[in-house]
Amino acid sequence: MTSQAASSIFAKAPSPGFTDAVHDAQSVFRAAMNALAQPGTIHQLSELALTPPAPLSASATALVLTLCDYDTPLWLDPDLAANETVRSYIRFHTAAPFAKSAAEATFALASNSENLPAIAGFAAGTPEYPDRSTTIILMVDDMVSGSGVTLKGPGIKNQNLFSAHPLQASFWQQMQANSTLYPLGVDVIFAGNNQLAGLPRSTKITGTEA
Amino acid sequence: MTQTAKTQDISSQHYNFAYLDEQTKRMIRRAILKGIAVPGYQVPFAAREMPMPYGWGTGGVQVTAAVIGKQDCLKMIDQGSDDTTNAVALRTFFVKTTGVETTTKTKEASIIQTRHRIPEEALTENQVLVYQVPIPEPLRFLEPRETETRKMHALEEYGLMHVKLYEDIAKYGHIATAYAYPVMVQDRYVMDPSPTPKFDNPKMDQMEALQLFGAGREKRIYAIPPHTKVVSLDFEDHPFEVNQFEEPCAICGAEGAYLDEVILDDHGKRMFVCSDSDFCEDRRAAGHVGHLGTNPLEAEGND
């Protein structure tokens, strides 16, 4: 094989996943677990040398590599779904099937809040199996703990204030509606700049008009 | 090379870190996240055969294996004690398959796996408490069909559990359930706290640490996030009460701790000592001494 042919193969190959599949996935999971166990608090990821194709962020990609596999239909937002580099990257590293509709997704990956369809359209589980629901991985630019909407519920001592940007105008209203479905509903993990935050269905949200 | 690093190096040649393969860990991790999102709800998961028999804590082991990382410090207890069979066996398992640091000090641990006790010392938000659960379904002995108990949880139909507690009162004059005492989690799901003594139930309420429950044979995982409301079921005229002990710990003098009965001789002589071995050791190190001294076998009147 000529070196020119070899380099063209590498040009087509998906960029690498975790450097250390076992321990990187473990540390990302711990951050995600703590994020969902303490809604509205921000959890720093350790430095991951991930170079996913744009517009995927390192933190969102880390979550996908940590949680998705052939058992979990993954819904991609329209921008990501139209991006063959993104699709082949995820397909190569996780073997996750792509969900045809939001309602059959175990995970949903949105590159920004504007690309999310109605949150009520995702799987909310059934009364017997509330775990058969979608977990939304939502990419945001930044998150702030200490100002924003008021969160109360399991995992929160008194209350946590939290905001994330950018979010579509109706996002918090939709998540309020989602929490009224409890114990059904979707859970959201915000993936920011090397940071995670969680918003499980059990969290009550107030102060959304601010 | 430190001892830990050496063990990690050796173990990594023989097992994947923490024994389980990565796909299994992902599956368990997803179940844990769902459990956290719906506190008290039992999430089905595809529990694997583990290299130890059912009943030895295969559920807790799988949960710990999915959560644990190189930086963790693991404490393993069985009925409160760090040095009983189950604790020693499972601690050795994790030392062999992960090489992580282990400890008997409640304070130092980042993950505590427990069989049937909650440490006396209050846990903090940086700790995870993993319970080994034999029968996760609190309604199972009242209704054997899984399809029915699922429906009962879905409809929040817990009358049967109250009838059971009421029958206790009718028969014995008080609620006679002493362990695996059912709790209501965040006003929604009735949950089995695993066979912990009811003495430990109040510690679950608003606990700062994350509590994870794993049932290997029954293939269920459930969770209680930190600062979650956990209420022991009771009646207005028969409120929930914890066990009371008539005497303090015989070797550290602790009052208000959960005590184990220990037979001392063939003539019915016995003593009560702390079930939490680390708590008892800490107190003795701090100079507390019970009425049988630090070594009951040398106490006066013992042959």
**Does A113 fall in a domain?**
yes
Calculate how close chain A gets to B55, using CA atoms only, in Å: 26
Q: Tell me how far apart the alpha carbons of residues B164 and B175 are, in angstroms, rounded to a whole number.
A: 9
Q: What is the pLDDT of residue B127?
A: 97
Q: What is the pLDDT of residue B295?
A: 74
Q: What is the pLDDT of residue A40?
A: 96
8 Å CB contact between B294 and B280:
no
Mean pLDDT of chain B: 93
CATH T-level assignment (fold) for domain B10-138+182-231: Rossmann fold (3.40.50)
Question: Which of A25, A68, A128 faces B22 most closely, judged by CB atoms?
Answer: A25
Q: In this complex, do A202 and B186 lie within 8 Å of one another by their Cβ atoms? A: yes
B41 CB neighbours in chain A (<8 A) are 130-131, 183
Q: In this complex, do B227 and A157 lie within 8 Å of one another by their Cβ atoms? A: yes
For the stretch B142-152, pLDDT in tens is 999 999 999 99
Q: Tell me how far apart the alpha carbons of residues A94 and B1 are, in angstroms, rounded to a whole number.
A: 35
For the stretch B277-290, pLDDT in tens is 999 999 999 999 99
Q: In this complex, do A128 and B36 lie within 8 Å of one another by their Cβ atoms? A: no
Q: What is the pLDDT of residue B2?
A: 61
Q: In this complex, do B30 and A183 lie within 8 Å of one another by their Cβ atoms? A: no
**Does A1 fall in a domain?**
no
Q: What is the pLDDT of residue B71?
A: 95
pLDDT above 70 for B6: no
**Does A209 fall in a domain?**
no
**Chain B interface, mutation test: which of A20, A28, A30, most B Cβ atoms within 10 Å?**
A30
pTM, 2 dp: 0.94
Q: What is the pLDDT of residue B167?
A: 95
For the stretch B179-220, pLDDT in tens is 999 999 999 999 999 999 999 999 999 999 999 999 999 999
**Does A124 fall in a domain?**
no
pLDDT above 70 for B269: yes
**Which sequence positions of B are flagged as catalytic?**
40, 249, 252, 274, 280
Calculate how close chain B gets to A159, using CA atoms only, in Å: 11
User: What number of other Cβ atoms are within 10 A of residue B302's Cβ?
Assistant: 12
In this prediction, residue B301 has a pLDDT band, given cuts at 50, 70 and 90, of low
Q: What is the pLDDT of residue B30?
A: 98
For the stretch B117-132, pLDDT in tens is 999 999 999 999 999 9
**Strand B270-274 to B111-115 pairing:** unpaired
**Does A7 fall in a domain?**
no
As for how many domains chain A has, the answer is 1
Mean pLDDT of chain A: 94
- A36 versus B300: the higher-pLDDT residue is A36
**Residue B199 half-sphere exposure, CB side, CA atoms within 13 Å?**
19
Closest-CA residue in chain A for B110? Answer: A30
Q: What is the pLDDT of residue A100?
A: 94
Question: Which of B36, B66, B69 faces A23 most closely, judged by CB atoms?
Answer: B69
Question: Which of A38, A67, A131 faces B26 most closely, judged by CB atoms?
Answer: A67
Q: What is the pLDDT of residue A9?
A: 65
In this prediction, residue B4 has a pLDDT band, given cuts at 50, 70 and 90, of low
For the stretch B8-58, pLDDT in tens is 666 667 789 999 999 999 999 999 999 999 999 999 999 999 999 999 999
Question: Which of B27, B33, B154 faces A33 most closely, judged by CB atoms?
Answer: B33
In this prediction, residue A49 has a pLDDT band, given cuts at 50, 70 and 90, of confident
- B299 versus B49: the higher-pLDDT residue is B49
For the stretch B157-167, pLDDT in tens is 999 999 999 99
Residue A184's CATH number? 3.40.50.11310
Calculate how close chain A gets to B172, using CA atoms only, in Å: 35
Domain ranges in chain B? 10-138+182-231, 244-296
Conformational region of residue A96, where left means phi above 0, alpha means psi within -120 to 50, and beta covers everything else: beta
Mean pLDDT score, A48-73:
96
Q: List phi, psi (to 5°) of B282.
A: -60, -45
| B-proximal residues of A, 126-155, CB under 8 Å | 126-131, 133, 135, 153-155
Q: Tell me how far apart the alpha carbons of residues A100 and A118 are, in angstroms, rounded to a whole number.
A: 16
| B-proximal residues of A, 25-84, CB under 8 Å | 25-27, 29-30, 32-34, 36-38, 66-69, 71-72
Q: What is the pLDDT of residue A47?
A: 85
A66 CB neighbours in chain B (<8 A) are 26, 29
B31 CB neighbours in chain A (<8 A) are 131
ipTM: 0.95
For the stretch A6-38, pLDDT in tens is 666 666 789 999 999 999 999 999 999 999 999
Q: Tell me how far apart the alpha carbons of residues A176 and A153 are, in angstroms, rounded to a whole number.
A: 13
Q: Tell me how far apart the alpha carbons of residues A182 and A198 are, in angstroms, rounded to a whole number.
A: 16
Q: Number of Cβ pairs closer than 8 Å across A and B?
A: 111
Q: In this complex, do A128 and B150 lie within 8 Å of one another by their Cβ atoms? A: yes
pLDDT above 70 for B302: no
A33 CB neighbours in chain B (<8 A) are 29, 32-33, 36, 67, 210
Q: In this complex, do A131 and B36 lie within 8 Å of one another by their Cβ atoms? A: no
Q: Tell me how far apart the alpha carbons of residues B127 and B108 are, in angstroms, rounded to a whole number.
A: 9
* Interface residues on B facing A, Cβ-Cβ cutoff 8 A: 16-17, 22-23, 25-27, 29-39, 41, 43-44, 66-70, 125, 150-151, 153-155, 186, 188-189, 210, 223-229
**Does A72 fall in a domain?**
yes
Nearest by Cα to A39 from A209, A169, A207, A202 = A202
Residues in contact with B119: Cβ distance below 8 Å, sequence separation at least 6, in sequence order:
B77, B80, B106, B112, B276, B278, B279
**Does A71 fall in a domain?**
yes
Q: What is the pLDDT of residue B3?
A: 61
Residue A153 belongs to domain spanning: 15-117+133-203
For the stretch A121-180, pLDDT in tens is 999 999 999 999 999 999 999 999 999 999 999 999 999 999 999 999 999 999 999 999
**Does A3 fall in a domain?**
no
Q: What is the pLDDT of residue A48?
A: 86
pLDDT above 70 for B7: no
Q: In this complex, do A25 and B189 lie within 8 Å of one another by their Cβ atoms? A: no
